[in-house]
Structures are given as C-alpha cells and as structure tokens.
Chain A
C-alpha cells in the first residue's frame, strides 16, 4: 500500500481521561482539483481526496466520503470517546488510489 506523505495538521489532545470525548480536527493541504472540461478552458482531470478514514487497532473510529464540493485544503472535525491508549491512524485516499497516512498517539489515563 502506498503511503506517501501529505502536509497535514492534526489537532487533538495527547492525553485524555477514560471515556472522555475528545475533539479531533484535521486539516490537510490538498488542491481538491475538480474536473474542468468547459469549452475554452484547458481540461483538468479530477483529483480529490475522496475518503478520510481514522482507525485505532484496525477498528474504524470515523470515516468521511468527500466530493468536489469540499473546499481545497479539506478540513474535517469530529469527536471520539477515549477508551484505550494507542495510535490513531489517519488515512487520506486520493483519486487514483494513492493513500496518505499519518499516526497520532493518544494516551488514556
């Protein structure tokens, strides 16, 4: 599986109490290129991030399907209940199948 890097900022606490609801904000740098095929314009192929998935130990915590209607530099905020310590895996899937991955650890006390 391809795992290139994507400039992204993940904002979440490093530590949380058990069962605490933590807010996670994710901002990635990506043009979210819409397909342009209008007359008089140079055609541009669609290239967006169509999915962002967040898992912990293989269990899906959150997933969003994105469209060309999402602004460039896609921003997504969601919540999750802190149940166990470990790494959260953030995966962005781009048109064409390239997957970008980032990990962020969460310590549950």
Chain B
C-alpha cells in the first residue's frame, strides 16, 4: 500500500476510490467468467454418455487412495479391449467431481495404440471422486471411479 501523504490527502482518497471502483468492476466479470467456463460435473458426464448406459466392468484405475499433495496426483487407466479396427477404445475421459473444471483430460487413442493403457498426473482441489469414462468404437462406454483423499488441495481458484 502507498504511504499516506499528509500534504495530499485528496490523492490518497482518489487512489482508494479508483481501487474500490476497479474491484467492483472486476468482481462481476470474474464471476461471470467463471460461470461461463464451469461446466458442472454432472453435465460433463451426461454430455459424454449422451444417453448411453455405462458398463461398470472392464476399466481399472490406478491411483493412490490418499494423496498428500493435490497439486500432482498420479493416475493410470487401463481398459480391457481387443484394440482391433472394429472394437477399440477411442476416447478416455478423466473427470473430477469437485474441481472447478470437472473435465481434466481426454485421451484420443485407436487400434494403433495396441493397448488401452494411459497415464498422467492431475491436480485435485479436495477429497473427491474421480470418474473415468472410456468410449469404444462400438458405442459402449466403460465407467470406473475412485475416491481419493487429498490432504493438501491444489489451490485452484486462489480461495
């Protein structure tokens, strides 16, 4: 904060007034920006499923049950699939229930992958359930989920 200048009290009040005006002007913009980009978890899952009933089998998620640090959590996903031209996994979606952006990643693979076996490292805002949806070329969707306890959450929205 700038030091108050006794000779120029008007300057300080002006600065404060400008800062306050800026804060007021920014707040609704920030809120609407957040709303525009934030698709809810349920909406994201619905959009991927597109009316299909997911199969609970065939998908395994490897992830620590408890994570000390939500800034980097390992996740590996494997789906049982012949990975042939006719029957292969085409897309793997990782969704986080309580992150500000529920769609974490989408992998696009195909028969050339040989195996449906992918991994990455994700940020988790808090303790929550991770859902993985895998879409196959035949229209089947495999679903798996895992609960992860997060000790130190990734401070996603600065709050």
Chain A residues packing against B (C-beta within 8 Å):
21, 23, 34-39, 41, 43, 59-72, 74-81, 83
Q: For the A-B complex with A39-B26, A64-B106, A77-B119 known, give 7 more contacts whose Cβ atoms are closer than 8 Å.
A: A37-B33, A37-B158, A62-B113, A70-B121, A71-B73, A71-B123, A79-B118
A-side binding surface: helix, strand, loop or mixed? strand
With contacts A66-B105, A68-B123, A71-B71 known, is A39 near B114, CB below 8 A? no
Q: Of B114, B117, B122, which is within 8 A of A69 by CB? A: B122
Chain B residues packing against A (C-beta within 8 Å):
23, 26-27, 30, 33-34, 71-73, 76, 96, 99-101, 103-109, 112-115, 117-123, 156-159
Q: Are B109 and A69 in contact (CB under 8 A)?
A: no
B75 CB to nearest A CB, Å: 10
Q: Are B104 and A38 in contact (CB under 8 A)?
A: no
Q: Are B123 and A39 in contact (CB under 8 A)?
A: no
For B123, list chain A residues within 8 Å (CB). 68-71
